[in-house]
Structure 1
């Protein structure tokens, strides 16, 4: 059964079990998906409302973009666990001969790169979601302002969690150029996402 097909209680149960996956990566994607969903909710409570008519076009555009990002994050919940399972599968490969050992090493490096790229992609989606959420601050249903704050808190948590997963997988990658590239680009996404999320949170505090 896919993780996204589980009910909340089932997902939380398997997350807390001794199964190594799902773990922090899938949990980060879930946090991000909740963040995008909250922004979607606020936009749905804003569009079509006479009081916010001047922001209606922008609100609809934000809703459209957030719906797309939400679908991407929901899909990546399972993709992250699948990437981890790809790494785990390498340990069952034979390693008796030098040829087998070499194939095993190559498979491990490929699996670790995939397991790096998934949370890296996740970070990019969530940074975009934070930037979209920022556009709604002060231009959306005031009664749901706190929900925008919770949205960016979930997204920030997801970004930071995804970054940790990027780092732990990079630690096993031998390709120095690959490691340098994704450390640099990942740090950039982390800094941008967290900075914007903090700005939004502070603005929400002023509003409420």
Structure 2
């Protein structure tokens, strides 16, 4: 069964068990999905309201984009665990001969790169989600303003969590160019996303 298809209590139980996966990556994806879902909720509570008629077109656009990101981040819950399992599977490969050792090493490096790229792609989606959330401020239902703040908090936690998962995999990758690229690009995403999240949170504090 896919993680995303589990009951909430089932997911939390397996998350808190001695099973190595799901772990922080899948938890980060869930937090991100919750964050953008809250942003989508705010657009839903704004669309059709006369008070916000001038923002109707923009809110509908945000709603559609948020819906896409919500689904993609839900998929990421399982993608992260799949990537981890692919790394774990390499440990089962034989290493009796030099040829087998070389194949095992190559497979491990490929799996580690995949395990680093998965949360990195999640980070890109999270920053996009934060950008959508920011656009909703001042144009959406003020009765749900606090939900945009909670969305930002969830998305920031998810962003930083995904970054930790990128870093832990990069630490075992031998391709220096790959490591350099993803460290550089990842830092940029963390800085941009964290700044966005903090800005959103502060604006919401001022509104409410």
Q: TM-score, normalised by structure 2?
A: 0.99
Unaligned runs of 5+ in 1: none
Once residues 72 and 124 of structure 1 are traced to their aligned partners in structure 2, the CA distance between those partners, rounded to angstroms, is 11
Deviations for 1:131-150, whole angstroms, at most 9, x for unmatched residues? Answer: 01000011100000000000
Counterpart position of 1:43: 43
Once residues 160 and 111 of structure 1 are traced to their aligned partners in structure 2, the CA distance between those partners, rounded to angstroms, is 22
Once residues 57 and 153 of structure 1 are traced to their aligned partners in structure 2, the CA distance between those partners, rounded to angstroms, is 26
The answer to whether structure 1 residue 164 and structure 2 residue 189 are counterparts is no
Once residues 70 and 5 of structure 1 are traced to their aligned partners in structure 2, the CA distance between those partners, rounded to angstroms, is 15
Once residues 194 and 65 of structure 1 are traced to their aligned partners in structure 2, the CA distance between those partners, rounded to angstroms, is 21
Provide the aligned length of Structure 1 versus Structure 2.
208
| Aligned structure 1 segments of 4 or more residues deviating by more than 4 angstroms | none
- Displacement of 1:169 in angstroms is 0.3
Once residues 196 and 40 of structure 1 are traced to their aligned partners in structure 2, the CA distance between those partners, rounded to angstroms, is 17
Counterpart position of 1:4: 4
- Displacement of 1:97 in angstroms is 0.6
- Displacement of 1:170 in angstroms is 0.3
Deviations for 1:158-198, whole angstroms, at most 9, x for unmatched residues? Answer: 00000000000000000000000000000000100000000
- Displacement of 1:42 in angstroms is 0.4
Task: Write the mapping of 1:86-101 to structure 2, written as runs, cut at 5 A.
Answer: 86-101=86-101
Once residues 121 and 55 of structure 1 are traced to their aligned partners in structure 2, the CA distance between those partners, rounded to angstroms, is 30
Q: Output the aligned Cα RMSD.
A: 0.4
Counterpart position of 2:58: 58
Deviations for 1:83-134, whole angstroms, at most 9, x for unmatched residues? Answer: 0000000001101111110000000000000000000000000000000100
Counterpart position of 1:204: 204
Once residues 198 and 128 of structure 1 are traced to their aligned partners in structure 2, the CA distance between those partners, rounded to angstroms, is 15
Q: TM-score, normalised by structure 1?
A: 0.99
Q: Secondary structure at the match of 2:172?
A: coil
Q: Secondary structure at the match of 1:197?
A: helix
Counterpart position of 1:71: 71
- Displacement of 1:68 in angstroms is 0.5
Once residues 8 and 36 of structure 1 are traced to their aligned partners in structure 2, the CA distance between those partners, rounded to angstroms, is 18
Once residues 44 and 137 of structure 2 are traced to their aligned partners in structure 1, the CA distance between those partners, rounded to angstroms, is 14
Unaligned runs of 5+ in 2: none
Counterpart position of 2:29: 29
